A and B are shown apart, each in its own frame.
Chain A
Amino acid sequence: QKEVEQDPGPLSVPEGAIVSLNCTYSNSAFQYFMWYRQYSRKGPELLMYTYSSGNKEDGRFTAQVDKSSKYISLFIRDSQPSDSATYLCAMRWGGGSNYKLTFGKGTLLTVNP
C-alpha cells in the first residue's frame, strides 16, 4: 500500500460545477497537508496548506482534513475552465526545516465551458 493514494482521473466537469478531489493516506505521522495545482509543463503552485483537522476556505477553494479517517479533500466551487489542471495532494511530517513531501499521483481535471 502506498503512503498516499489519489485517483488520477481524468475528471471532466461542466463549467460552474462543484469539484471534489480526494486523497487518502496511511501514515499517521503526517501532520501538514497541502494541495498544489500544476498546469501542463509548469511547476506546482500552492493552493491550500492546512495543519489540523477541519475545513479551511480560500475563495472558491475549500480544503478539508479528517485525520481520524486519514482522508483529505479539496472542493472547488463554481469551477472555471482556467481550473483545468492536475491537482496534487502532498503531506509531510511535522516540525523542523528538513522535511520531505510525499505526493499523491495527481488528478487531471478538465472544466468544459
Chain B
Amino acid sequence: GAVVSQHPSWVICKSGTSVKIECRSLDFQATTMFWYRQFPKQSLMLMATSNEGSKATYEQGVEKDKFLINHASLTLSTLTVTSAHPEDSSFYICSAPDWQGANQPQHFGDGTRLSIL
C-alpha cells in the first residue's frame, strides 16, 4: 500500500532555531499533502494544505511566516518551523492522498516530535 515517510522522527533544539521536517510519498505521486499538529491526548488539527508547484493554503490562525511550507516535487513537501519557541513543541504529522485510485483516503507519516528547549 501507499507509504508516506516523514523525517526526522524526533528533534530537540534550542529556542530561536529553525527546524525543517520532510514528508515524502514513497510509491506514489502526491500533488497535495497535508500538515497536522497534534498536542498530547488531543486530535489532529490541520495546519495547512501543501500544493505542488504553488503556495500552501493555511488554516485560520496558523502563521504563514512561522510555518513555511514548500512542495517542490510530486513526492516531497517540507515544513520549516522558523525561530522556534517552546510553545511550538508538538507532534507534527503529514499526510497525502493516494492517487492510485479516485477518492482515495489519506495516508499518514509517522510524525515528528519537536521539542524546543
A residues touching B (Cβ–Cβ < 8 Å)? 8, 32, 34, 36, 41-46, 49, 51, 88, 94-95, 97-101, 103-106, 108
What total count of A-B pairs have CB within 8 Å? 55
**Interface mask (B79-98 → A, CB under 8 Å = 1, otherwise 0):** 00000000000010101010
- Contact status A100-B49, CB under 8 Å: yes
B residues touching A (Cβ–Cβ < 8 Å)? 4, 6, 31-32, 34, 41-44, 46, 49, 51, 91, 93, 95, 97, 99, 103, 105-111, 113
CB distance from A112 to the nearest CB of B (A): 20
A36 to B111, CA, bound (A): 14
Question: Does more than half of chain B's interface fall in helix, strand or loop, or is it mixed?
Answer: strand
Question: Does more than half of chain A's interface fall in helix, strand or loop, or is it mixed?
Answer: loop
- Contact status A43-B32, CB under 8 Å: no
CB distance from A54 to the nearest CB of B (A): 17
Closest 9 CB pairs of A and B: A43-B108, A43-B110, A49-B105, A103-B43, A105-B43, A43-B111, A44-B108, A43-B93, A43-B109
